Structure 1
C-alpha cells in the first residue's frame, strides 16, 4: 500500500467562518486517490510531483467546485499537496465570484484568482522551512483575499444562508427543506435562490452530499446496509443504494470492496 502521510491544520479565528481546515498530504509512492463528492469547494496547491485525472495532467494550483460524481486522481511518486477545504459558505469571499459557476468543474486556480498572487504564494511555500510556515503562508494569502481595501475583514457571509448550511451539516442531510427554510427564516424559493449562489448547489443537493458522507462514515463502523440506511435517514435500503449509485456509479458493497481490494485511499473532494 502507498505510504501516505498527512497533517491537519485548524485555521486561525480570522478564517474559521471561511475555511474548515488546511491539509498537508505527502505520498512517497505513486497512488490513485478516490475523491468522493464533498459539501464544500476545495483549493489545492501542489508542491511536488504531478497528477492526472482522466489521463489529463492537472495544474499545480486548482480550484474544485462541488461535484456530482466520484473521481479518481493519479499521483506520481513523491507527491506533496496543500489542500484548503472551505466551509460550505466560505469560498465566495476568497474567490470574489459565484461558486455555483464552478459546479462539477475542476479549474486552474489562475482562472479565478490573479496569477501573480498565486505565483507569489508558491514561491513563499518553496522557501518555507517547515509545515507551520506553509500553513501560515496559506492563511495570510486567504486573509488578504477577504480583507477590504480598508484592511478590515469582509463580512459577506449571509447569517441566514450560513445557518441553513450548518443545519444541513449538523443533521447530516436528514433535515427537510421546509425545516431548513424555517430555521433560516426564509421562504423556500428565496432560500434556494440565495443558497445556490453562496454554496454552489441547492439545499436539497447539499443535503444529498452530506448524507453520502455520512453513509461512508457509517460503513467504516461495520454496520449493515439496513442499519446504515435507517441511521442515515433513508426510507429504505434501496433508496440509499440508488443515491449511492448516483454519486459513485456503483453499489456501496462494490465500491468499498473494489477500493479496499486495490488499496485505494478514499478522500473527500
Structure 2
C-alpha cells in the first residue's frame, strides 16, 4: 500500500492518491460506506471487483476500473485477493470538472471511466502502469490532473463556486444546516439549488446532508458515545429514528458497525488500508 499527497495546486479538490499491490490467499470483501467524496479507481492488471448492494438497491456489477460519485447507501466490493492499481479520492465538484459529466450519472454505483472520459483515462492508466514506482506514479498524477484541469472545458463542467460553498457548508455542519436557508443565502429557489447539486455534486442537498449526518454519527460512535446521545447530537428525532436511518444507509445496526470497525483497526495495525479519506469513516474490511 502507498499513499501520496496531491500537489498543492490540486488541493483542496483532490484529496489523496492511494496505490495498492495485493496478493492474498483468499477473497477480501470491503463494505464501502456513504462518504462525501468521488473516487477514480484505475486497475493496471485487469483483476475485477464485484460490487453488490447489501440493501438491494442495485443489481450486482463487475468493474476493473471505475469512477464513482456520492451515494446514500452502502456497497460491497469483493475481489479474488489480487489487485494492482491506484485510486484518486476527490471532492465531487472537482470530479465534475475532471470527468466532464453530470455527477448524478455517477451517483450510487458508478461507471467505467473510459466510457466517461475516453482516451484521457486510457492514457493516464497506461502511464501509471508503466511508471517505475509509486513516487513516479504520484508525479504522473500531479502532471496529468493539472493538465486536464487547466484545459478549456465546457462551461457546464466548471463547478459553480456557490455550489462548492453550499456543499462544504453542509458537510462541515454535519448536515444540520437547513436547506431553505442555504437557498436563501444564495438567492436561489429550492428547485434551482437542487438542480445545481444534481449536476455538480451528484446528490440533492438533502442527500448530502444525510451523508454528512451519518459521517458525524459514525465518528461519535467510535469516540464512545451511546446511541441515544448520538441521536440527540446529530439531530435525529429519537434513537429509533437514528437506528433506522443508520441501518438504511450502512446495512448495519450501530453495534455491528462498531464490531466491524474494531476488526478494521486490527487490519490497519497489520498494514492494511481501511479509510481512504482522512477524518471520514469510509470502509469496513469484512
Contact kept in structure 2, 1:37 and 1:69, CA below 8 Å: yes
Kept in 2: contact 1:160–1:185 (CA 8 A)? no
Structure 1 residue 57, shift from structure 2 partner: 7.0
Out of 13, 16, 22, the position equivalent to 1:21 is 16
Contact 1:94 1:146 in 2 (8 A): yes
**Gap change, CA 1:6 and 1:185, over 3 Å in 2:** farther
Structure whose residues are more often helix by fraction = 2
Structure 1 residues 96 and 104: CA distance shift in structure 2, 3 A: same
| Equivalent residues of 1:88, 1:165 under 8 A apart | no
Between stretches 94-103 and 40-49, larger displacement belongs to 40-49
Report Cα offsets for 1:201-244 as digits up to 9, x if no partner: 11111010111122222221122111222222323212211211
Q: Provide the residue aligned with 1:121 in structure 2.
A: 124
RMSD: 2.8
Counterpart-to-counterpart distance in 1, 2:15 and 2:187: 25
Instruction: Give the TM-score normalised by structure 2.
Output: 0.79
* Superposed structure 1 runs of 4+ greater than 6 Å apart: 261-265
TM-score normalized by structure 1?
0.84
After superposition, give the CA deviation of every residue in 1:59-88 in whole Å (9 maximum; x if it has no partner): 332111222321111133342342211213
Structure 2 equivalent of residue 166 of structure 1: 168
In 1, Cα distance between equivalents of 2:117 and 2:223? 40
CA distance in structure 2 between the partners assigned to 1:117 and 1:193 by the alignment: 28
Q: Is this contact kept in 2: 1:34–1:72, CA < 8 A? A: yes
The unaligned stretches of length 5 or more in structure 1 are: none
Out of 89, 95, 107, the residue aligned to residue 93 of structure 2 is 89
Aligned positions of 1:235-246 closer than 5 A: 235-246=237-248
Query: 1:135: how far off?
Result: 1.4
Instruction: Give unpaired runs (5+ residues) of structure 2.
Output: 53-58, 268-272, 276-281
Distance 1:224 1:80 in 2: 40
Match of 1:192?
194
In 2, Cα distance between the equivalents of 1:260 and 1:236?
Answer: 26
Is 1:103 matched up with 2:103?
no
Distance 1:143 1:58 in 2: 30
Look up the match of 1:79.
83
